[in-house]
């Protein structure tokens, strides 16, 4: 199977904003956008995206998971980047149209169709370093993905970084390209120097998130994770897992977690940690690396509660458990 996100459907849905209104959605070849080299996005990073999944159920139907949340975040990211306003109903229709067109290509679980709406400033205006693009483009690209855990469910190693930050704090809740570019150097350094998989950013000594996933500490019946604020990305998976955990009778504590408390709790037997995001749902964290030393989380392996929460969410996504909260949309 190709690497996650490197295989694409041959067509996508696209619409352009001309400064006045959005064009009718077109279905075009996936490699067919044409941009002026002076386009605002290429210089001033006026771009945001979303990531959601469509799942094939046993009866052959195809369902999108919590699309309303992703649409709302897409509109919010666009607004915070001063991009033209997206018409949520129109973007929703683009998603339904293109997923419907490729419904027969949606992989069986544990695979899925990853859906990538993207919005960026197109105005050819390199003088606009401090002004928004008046024109833009949005498209919805599809990428069939296989089992995220095909290589085995390996517990991740996270470097705890209480020095740097992932992105500028006021940009944290925007799903925007520049934030990932900004986190790349610390992540690459952590890989080469500490054989870490990811960096857990903890600016000022308080746990935030990694480069592309939210962080959850699971201590017995309690889940501790940072409360929502503008400094980090509000994951749909985070919200889904916390909802499921509450329903299972767990205590959910959305609050600040200092690095000191994290390390102290993590070292206790039975403690677990996980990263949440659409790609993996929940990926277990086995080791925290802090000031050059490895600290095992619990027994350092794949946590039981992590696996249970993940499979409870997967069951809803895959149609093996009832969707009591209206999280699925049929196409």
- In whole angstroms, the minimum distance from the beta carbon of 292 to ligand PLP comes to 26
Extract the tokens encoding 212.
């592309």
Contact string 225-254 vs ligand PLP (x = CB under 6 A):
--------x-xxxx----------------
The answer to whether 158 touches 287, Cβ cutoff 8 Å, is yes
Residue whose CB is less far from ligand PLP, 51 or 286: 51
Integer Cα distance of 53 and 49 in angstroms: 14
Nearer to ligand PLP, 64 or 236 (CB): 236
Helix axes 304-317, 236-247, angle to 10 degrees: 110
The CA distance from 236 to 233, in Å, is: 9
Q: Measured from the CB atom, is 125 or 245 closer to ligand PLP?
A: 245
- With binding defined as CB under 6 A, does residue 309 bind ligand PLP? no
User: Quick check: 112 binds ligand PLP (CB under 6 A)?
Assistant: no
What character string, x for contact with ligand PLP (CB under 6 A) and - otherwise, covers 51-90? x---------------------------------------
Please identify, among the stretches 27-35, 39-47, 271-279, 286-294, the one whose residues bind ligand PLP according to the rule CB under 6 A: 271-279
Q: Cα(237)–Cα(141) distance, rounded to whole angstroms?
A: 21
Q: Which residue has the tokens 């929940």?
A: 282
Separation between Cα atoms, residue 200 and residue 94, nearest integer Å: 35
Among candidates 318, 303, 288, 309, which has minimal Cα distance to 237? 309
State the Cα–Cα distance between residues 62 and 69, nearest whole angstrom. 18
Shortest distance (Å) from residue 214 CB to ligand PLP = 5
- d(C-alpha 245, C-alpha 250), whole Å: 5
Q: How far is the CB of 281 from ligand PLP (least distance, A)?
A: 8
C-beta closer to ligand PLP: residue 27 or 307: 307
Binding window for ligand PLP (CB under 6 A); candidates: 96-104, 129-137, 153-161, 270-278: 270-278
Strand 136-145, strand 112-121: pairing = antiparallel
Q: Is 271 in the site for ligand PLP (CB under 6 A)?
A: no
Nearer to ligand PLP, 7 or 228 (CB): 228
- Pick between residue 125 and residue 233 the one whose CB is nearest to ligand PLP: 233
Q: Is 186 in the site for ligand PLP (CB under 6 A)?
A: no
Rounded Cα–Cα distance for residues 62 and 64 (Å): 7
Query: Residue 193 is encoded by which pair of tokens?
Result: 């120097």
* Residues of this chain, 160-179, that bind ligand PLP according to CB under 6 A: 175
Where on the chain is the footprint of ligand PLP (CB under 6 A)?
A: 51, 175, 209, 212-214, 233, 235-238, 276-278
């Amino acid at each position: 199977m190709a690497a996650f996100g490197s295989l694409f459907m041959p067509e996508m849905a696209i619409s352009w904003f001309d400064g006045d209104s959005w064009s009718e959605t077109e279905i075009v070849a996936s490699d067919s956008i044409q941009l002026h080299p002076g386009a605002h996005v290429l210089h001033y990073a006026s771009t945001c995206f979303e990531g959601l999944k469509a799942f094939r159920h046993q009866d052959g139907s195809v369902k999108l998971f919590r699309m309303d949340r992703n649409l709302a975040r897409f509109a919010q990211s666009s607004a915070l980047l001063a991009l033209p306003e997206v018409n949520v109903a129109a973007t929703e229709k683009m998603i339904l149209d293109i997923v419907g067109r490729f419904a027969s290509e949606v992989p069986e679980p544990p695979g899925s169709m990853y859906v990538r709406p993207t919005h960026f400033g197109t105005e050819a205006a390199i003088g606009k370093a401090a002004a928004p693009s008046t024109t833009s483009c949005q498209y919805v690209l599809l990428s069939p993905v296989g089992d995220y855990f095909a290589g085995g469910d390996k517990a991740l190693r996270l470097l705890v970084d209480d020095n740097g930050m992932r992105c500028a704090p006021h940009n944290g809740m925007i799903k925007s390209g520049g934030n990932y570019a900004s986190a790349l150097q610390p992540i690459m350094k952590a890989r080469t120097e500490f054989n870490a998989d990811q960096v857990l950013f903890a600016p000022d000594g308080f746990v935030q998130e990694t480069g592309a996933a939210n962080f959850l500490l699971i201590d017995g019946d309690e889940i501790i994770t940072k409360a929502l604020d503008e400094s980090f990305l509000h994951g749909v998976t985070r919200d889904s897992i916390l909802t499921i955990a509450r329903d299972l009778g767990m205590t959910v504590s959305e609050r600040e977690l200092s690095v000191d408390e994290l390390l102290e709790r993590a070292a206790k037997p039975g403690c677990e940690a996980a990263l949440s995001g659409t790609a993996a749902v929940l990926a277990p964290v086995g080791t925290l690396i802090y000031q050059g030393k490895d600290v095992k989380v619990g027994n350092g392996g794949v946590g039981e509660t992590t696996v249970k929460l993940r499979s409870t969410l997967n069951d809803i996504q895959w149609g093996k458990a009832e969707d009591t909260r209206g999280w699925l949309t049929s196409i």
